[in-house]
Structure 1
Amino acid sequence: MMTTTYKFILVALVACSVVLSACNSKPKTQQKAEKSGEEWIQLFNGKDLNDWQVKFKGEVLGENYNNTFRVEDGLLRVSYQNWEEWNGKFGHLFYKDEFSHYRLRVEYRFIGEQAKNGPGWAFRNNGLMIHGQSAESMELDQDFPTSIEVQLLGGVTGQGERSTMNLCTPGTNVILNGELWEQHCTDSKSKTQYDDEWVSVEVEVHGGEVIRHFVDGEEVLSYEKPQLDPRDQYFEKLLPADGNEIISGGTISIQAESHGTDFRKIELLILEE
């Protein structure tokens, strides 16, 4: 006959086994976050842009030209409602802090029509600018922050394929497949995200080492050694005193490039170095 004490021990062992099995089935990043007590940081709080800085080409820092970046219905919106037509004023919205090792998770969609006379390449185009220079260090008429751009693109049903979570390199280079990669934009292997559907993407950043792009949990692109491009006009200005061209951290910003975009989630998980 099984004693009461033996029954208690057996039940406890089974319970522990179930808990351990559940923990081991979780993604390693989630396990690490739970063990370390770290939590996802909500960069966008769903209420306001108090933690963000605006910089438009040709405008002083903080000037939200035509109220392009706004919060409506709990969404962070890039809106061209108040624009008569596109005039070349590229905009960027910078988060207040800088980061080095992290996962950045974003949910976005493209909406409405492109601003009148917007460039063809900017149709349904936005970007997550990571490892960027500070908003304060940008020149008055600078188009884009020196950064690694995780390019967000949208397709239209019936108009062919168009990948998202691509790589663009304003003022930078990377190592791709073991070689210095100086091509400005490189397509990922993602599927086309059509029309106004919401898209969930992630970027996994390990300082100046590896960066990986994900769409709906699937890795679609990876590269290494993000670095300043000596050919760029701002290279000397941004090169640190020790002459190290590798970029190991920096700002995070989103773009305003002539097409309306909604963001309903922008969150970040700090990773161990």
Structure 2
Amino acid sequence: MKFYLSVLLILSSSVLPFSSYAQSENLFNGKDLTGWYIDIPEMDNDASLKSSFLVREGLLVSMGNPQGHLISNDSYKDYRLEIEYRFAGEPGNCGVLVHASTPRALYGMFPKSIEVQMMHENAGDFWCIVEDIKVPNMEKRRGKKEEWGITEGKKRRILNLTDNSEKPLGEWNSMKIECLDNRVKVWVNGDLVNEGYDCTANKGQIALQAEGAEVEFRKVLLTPITQLSK
């Protein structure tokens, strides 16, 4: 009996570290925009403008205009973000920003961040917004090295690995973004479409864009990644 109890104690102690994994967090509760704030520059001087972000029939909706961002109140580090989205009408542009910090750092609109593109037929591109990231085959995917940059007028776009991972217009797409230390990996509908390293930021807020097209979100789920020391 003593031996049996000893074995149980050893087994239970061996799994204790796994209980330190934090629980997944639904960043969108399906009812309202709790946990987020809206930054739309045009609304600074025109209080009559309606927000681009709303909740409709249990979905988080970016109406596209006026353009701006829905930004998380909290900052995050080392996590997996799972998003399900679709363009509700015409195809267009949108994005998810990770490691967001200084607001309106680019063109008086975009917060300092790395954008993971959601633009129709371009999902998974990186856009550098006053932060930078590297990928393999940089010159092939970003253009001439002397034109690279992270501010206005520079080559900030880094092409993804495939443009055929999205579903037909109107269908739901799944996007998974994994941020771990200074690396960012992106999957679209199960395909690995981009992977960057040496990112100049490794933590920050998360933002969703209003960038001209109506987009519906039904899932915004964040799961912390806990690295166990060996």
Match of 1:98 in 2: 75
- Distance 1:175-1:124 versus aligned 2 partners, 3 A rule: same
Match of 2:217 in 1: 263
Deviation of 1:173 after TM superposition, in Å, equals 1.8
The letter for the 2-side match of 1:74 is G
Match of 1:124 in 2: 92
- Does the 8 A contact of 2:105 with 2:130 survive in 1? no
Q: Does 1:224 pair with 2:197?
A: yes
- Does the 8 A contact of 1:59 with 1:140 survive in 2? no
SS of residue paired to 2:50: helix
2:178 to 204, 225, 247: 204
Match of 2:111 in 1: 145
The letter for the 1-side match of 2:108 is Q
Deviation of 1:194 after TM superposition, in Å, equals 2.3
Match of 2:130 in 1: 171
1:195 to 135, 152, 169: 169
SS of residue paired to 1:70: strand
The letter for the 1-side match of 2:62 is V
Match of 2:10 in 1: none
Deviation string 1:86-106 (CA, Å, 9 cap, x unpaired) is 6xx421000110011000000
Deviation of 1:138 after TM superposition, in Å, equals 3.6
SS of residue paired to 1:174: coil
The letter for the 2-side match of 1:95 is S
Structure-1 separation of matches of 2:122 and 2:92 = 12
- Specify every segment of 5 or more residues in structure 2 that has no aligned partner in the other structure, as ranges: 1-16, 143-147, 149-154
SS of residue paired to 1:128: strand
- Distance 1:193-1:140 versus aligned 2 partners, 3 A rule: closer
- Does the 8 A contact of 2:86 with 2:172 survive in 1? yes
- Does the 8 A contact of 2:33 with 2:54 survive in 1? yes
Structure-2 separation of matches of 1:195 and 1:57 = 29
Deviation of 1:215 after TM superposition, in Å, equals 1.3
The letter for the 1-side match of 2:57 is D
Match of 1:19 in 2: none
Deviation of 1:125 after TM superposition, in Å, equals 1.1
Deviation of 1:176 after TM superposition, in Å, equals 1.6
- Distance 1:201-1:90 versus aligned 2 partners, 3 A rule: same
Structure-2 separation of matches of 1:35 and 1:178 = 40
Q: Does 1:185 pair with 2:157?
A: yes
The letter for the 2-side match of 1:105 is E
Deviation string 1:133-171 (CA, Å, 9 cap, x unpaired) is 15xx447971211110000022xxxxxxx2312111122
- Does the 8 A contact of 1:164 with 1:193 survive in 2? no
Deviation of 1:172 after TM superposition, in Å, equals 2.2
Larger of the two Rg values belongs to structure: 1
Question: What's the TM-score once normalised by structure 1's chain length?
Answer: 0.64
Question: What's the TM-score once normalised by structure 2's chain length?
Answer: 0.76
Match of 2:55 in 1: 71
Match of 1:237 in 2: none
The letter for the 1-side match of 2:94 is N
Match of 1:214 in 2: 187
Structure-2 separation of matches of 1:187 and 1:132 = 20
Output aligned runs, 1:3-152, within 5 Å: 35-60=19-44, 65-79=49-63, 89-113=66-90, 124-134=92-102, 137-138=103-104, 142-152=108-118
- Does the 8 A contact of 1:130 with 1:252 survive in 2? yes
184-193 or 102-111, larger mean C-alpha shift:
184-193
Give the fraction of aligned pairs with identical amino acids, expressed as a percent.
Answer: 28
- Does the 8 A contact of 1:57 with 1:140 survive in 2? no
Structure-2 separation of matches of 1:264 and 1:147 = 23
Structure-2 separation of matches of 1:111 and 1:248 = 32
The higher relative CO (CA closer than 8 Å, separation ≥ 6) is in 2
